[in-house]
Amino acid sequence: MGLVQGSEFLDQPRFSFMPKILLTFILLSLIIPLACRKKEKVPFGQEDSLSVSNQIKVWRDTLKHYQFLEFSETPLILTGRLFPNDTIYQGKGEIRKIAHLLSFWRMTQDTFHLDSLLFFVDSLNPKDTFCSVIYNDFTRHTIAIFQYDSLWLIRFRDSVSLETVIRIGYSLPQEREKVYPLTGRRCLLFKKENGDYKLQRLSGFTFSYPKDSAPGIKSVSLSQEGRSVTISRDEFGKPIILDSLPSFRSEEPIVVNVICEEPSDTLNIKYFGFLYKKGERQFLGEGYNFNGSLTFSRVGISHLFIEIIPAKNILYPDFTYYYTILALPLRITH
């Protein structure tokens, strides 16, 4: 029995060891030169990333996305008048509307920052090295705080007519908080000069929440005696050479005109406009086109902020906060 099995084994095809030896020799002939070959120097390394990161830190205070927010109680006296179009919110049975707003300010929680770096060389001049940065500021919880001393309580009899309107007064100011996100995404461009990276281009940013129903800003015009510039929506996030940023003189008012897209229902939806610089807020009133002015004292790169908020988001405590913010970098000169 064992003899038969042995015969079957001997009848199997025999594999030669020569092809294996030959294959091993070929692989070694390829691997050894690769392992011993001198590696070419990588054009971008840790030193480049560190240089760009250090430069970003230098600009952090200028680029902070939440610098326009008020972090302490800030007066904003508004009287919430009653209009026939308040019945747009019928079907709720009962709605509350602020009759007298005392102040409006913000706080932030869960703020963090993230950069995305991309190094490249100029194809026409390989000696010029650049770093493109997607600069992201995030605030997961921005808290809008409203203080008021009276409310309108509006009750509906049916889906058409009002039943009662009562004004409720409070001996002490009442507070209402609304939480929403805030994101500032910019594009920066750094160029390597004398071994270090310098900021060459800078963009502003715009953020709408929620994206589909927030107010739309069509254009912004800025003017000062002897100079004027209009920035359209397509240019809001465009990186601009620092020396080509809209330039205005310090200690002189900059006149600002904001044109918004009108909502489909202009009877029931009105916008409030706000104009900011760091440490200062200006209420522009109610409508779709807004005018105001701000004066900058510090020479250098500064930001002008514009915020558009539907009036119902401020005057109705139970309605979700939604808005559009626009940050425009300016070059302020003597």
Nearest partner of 145 among 172, 108, 185, 116, judged by Cα: 108
Q: Is 89 helix (H, G, I), strand (E, B) or coil?
A: helix
- Interacting residues of 84 by C-beta distance below 8 A, sequence separation 6+: none
Question: Residue 207's pLDDT is what?
Answer: 96
Query: Phi-psi bin for 128: left (phi > 0), alpha (psi -120 to 50), beta?
Result: beta
**Strands 323-333, 247-249: parallel, antiparallel or unpaired by DSSP?**
parallel
By DSSP bridging, strand 129-156 and strand 162-193 are: antiparallel
pLDDT at 89: 60
Is residue 330 scored above 90 in pLDDT? yes
Q: What helix, strand, coil percent values describe the chain, rounded to 5?
A: 20, 50, 30
Question: Residue 116: its pLDDT value, please?
Answer: 96
**pLDDT tens per residue across span 88-130:** 565 667 888 999 999 999 999 999 999 999 999 988 888 899 9
Q: Each residue of 235-292: pLDDT tens digit?
A: 999 999 999 999 999 999 999 999 999 998 887 788 999 999 988 999 999 999 999 9
CA atoms within 13 A of residue 121's CA, in its CB half-sphere: 9
Kindly report, residue by residue over 126-178, the tens digit of the pLDDT.
Answer: 889 999 999 999 999 999 999 999 999 988 776 566 778 899 999 999 999 99
Report the share of the chain in percent with pLDDT over 90: 67
- CA-CA distance, 249 to 244, in Å (whole number)? 14
**The residue type at 290:** F
- CA proximity to 93, closest of 161, 140, 139, 35: 161
Q: Is the pLDDT of residue 294 over 80?
A: yes
Question: Is 259 within 8 Å of 287 (Cβ atoms)?
Answer: no
Is the pTM higher than 0.85? The answer reads no
Tens of pLDDT, residue by residue over 17-27, are 445 554 454 44
Question: What is the strand order of the sheet 196-202 is part of?
Answer: 75-79, 94-121, 129-156, 162-193, 196-202, 240-241
